[in-house]
Chains A and B, each alone.
Chain A
Amino acid sequence: EPLPPHVTPNPLSSFPVPCVHAGLPKPTNITFSSINMENILQWSPPEGLQGAEVTDTVRYFIYGQKKWLSKSECRNILRTYCNLSAETSDYEHQYYARVKAVWGTNCSKGAQTGRFYPFLEKVALTTDKKSISIVLTYNVSIYNTKANKTWSQCVTNQMLVLSWLEPDTLYCVHVASFVPGPPRLAQPSEKQCVSTLKDPASALKVKILFWYVLPASVTVS
């Protein structure tokens, strides 16, 4: 029977397993992580209970709704993660999750995540009748080591031709994927560096300088 609209659900009523709230330490570092469209709840075990037979129970909550929901596969578990992808698949909803530690008949308070918003984690997809195309955009950063300048460019294909580079200069490049919409932290590639060749013309100038001009000045003086 749903709660009155403006009452925050009682933390203990959300866990059906009867346990005594005995001040056990809560699990810590509880967060959602979103990797390749999978939303995994992760946490660290409670401190100070190493060696004890502690299990964890997970609950999740849809922001704006009234009841905490459970996932049977994540009740009284020993591991410290729970895949809530199916439960958090509507990316227009926002979610909370809670984990409580259980030791025998004693239990901790629930450790709770912040408000998790799958939309901020999604990858931009477009679709037509028969296919889904993923628009992958890359943010290429180019660093001129001589001028100590960096510029970046967005490209949607796997090749970028950099022209107008300075001769005999070391350039370092790294690439990160880029998805339109809310800013997301992308893991950049490793840096790759390469030197441009010496400018044949300047080499010629040097030749001229050494081979013709200098000898002449030597003979004159």
Chain B
Amino acid sequence: GQEFQFGSCRVEGVVLQELWAAFRAVKDVVQAQDNITGVRLLRKEVLQNVSDAESCYLIQALLKFYLDTVFKNYHGKAAEFRILKSFSTLANNFIAITSRLRPSQENEMFSISESARRRFLLFQREFKQLDVEAALTKAFGEVDILLTWMEKFYQ
């Protein structure tokens, strides 16, 4: 079967196709709610040219943010738009991935983890500049961008 290989972090048992199918089912509904088309949270500077070694730190930070902030606070909207099934599929799979990530804590990895943290902060800062509800809607609407990046590490 296929697995995620974020550098040394390996995650088995997650079927990326299922995440894609879940998001594709709600993409039009969710993205139609995002009227701030001039802002993209997951910009190229956040996700482009991420080294394998960095990828584990970055995916952990992003998924943790999605779980603790986006999914946690978007649940009401998901119920309102009747997309809870897809919403739960995505959330549960993000939980499964983060629970199996073990990024190295060794000192020589500090500069790499810092680089990943700077990328994440770019994303988080952009998120915080928006009105909360607009930011939640935009972040959830950009899950396809996140899955595209994750797919590069799925083998």
Contact = CB atoms under 8 A, between A and B. Distances in A.
Interface of A: 3, 5-9, 61, 63-66, 92, 94, 96, 114-115, 117, 119-120, 181-183
A5 B38 contact: yes
A96 B37 CA distance: 9
Interface of B: 17, 20-21, 24, 27-28, 31-32, 34-40, 43-44, 129-130, 141, 144-145, 147-148, 151
Nearest to A114: B28
Contact of A183 (B17, B40, B148): B17
B20 A182 contact: yes
B93 to A, nearest CB: 15
Given A92-B148, A114-B28, A183-B20, A7 B37 contact: no
Contacts, number: 56
A117 B144 contact: yes
B144 A120 contact: yes
A115 B31 contact: yes
A3 B144 contact: no
A6 B24 contact: no
A199 B129 CA distance: 73
A182 B145 CA distance: 12
Nearest to A65: B38
Given A5-B129, A6-B38, 15 more contacts: A6-B130, A8-B37, A61-B37, A63-B40, A64-B39, A64-B43, A92-B44, A94-B40, A96-B37, A119-B144, A120-B144, A182-B144, A182-B147, A183-B17, A183-B21
B87 to A, nearest CB: 18
B31 A181 contact: no
Contacts of A3: 38
A92 B47 CA distance: 11
Nearest to A119: B148
A1 B144 CA distance: 30
Nearest to B134: A6
Contacts of A61: 37
Contact of A115 (B20, B39, B141): B141
B129 A64 contact: no
A75 to B, nearest CB: 21
A33 to B, nearest CB: 15
Nearest to B126: A5
B99 to A, nearest CB: 24
11 contacts: A8-B37, A9-B38, A64-B40, A66-B38, A115-B37, A117-B144, A119-B144, A181-B20, A182-B17, A182-B20, A182-B147
A94 B38 contact: no
Contacts of A182: 17, 20, 24, 144, 147
A212 B126 CA distance: 88
Nearest to B2: A180
Contact of B38 (A64, A92, A119): A64
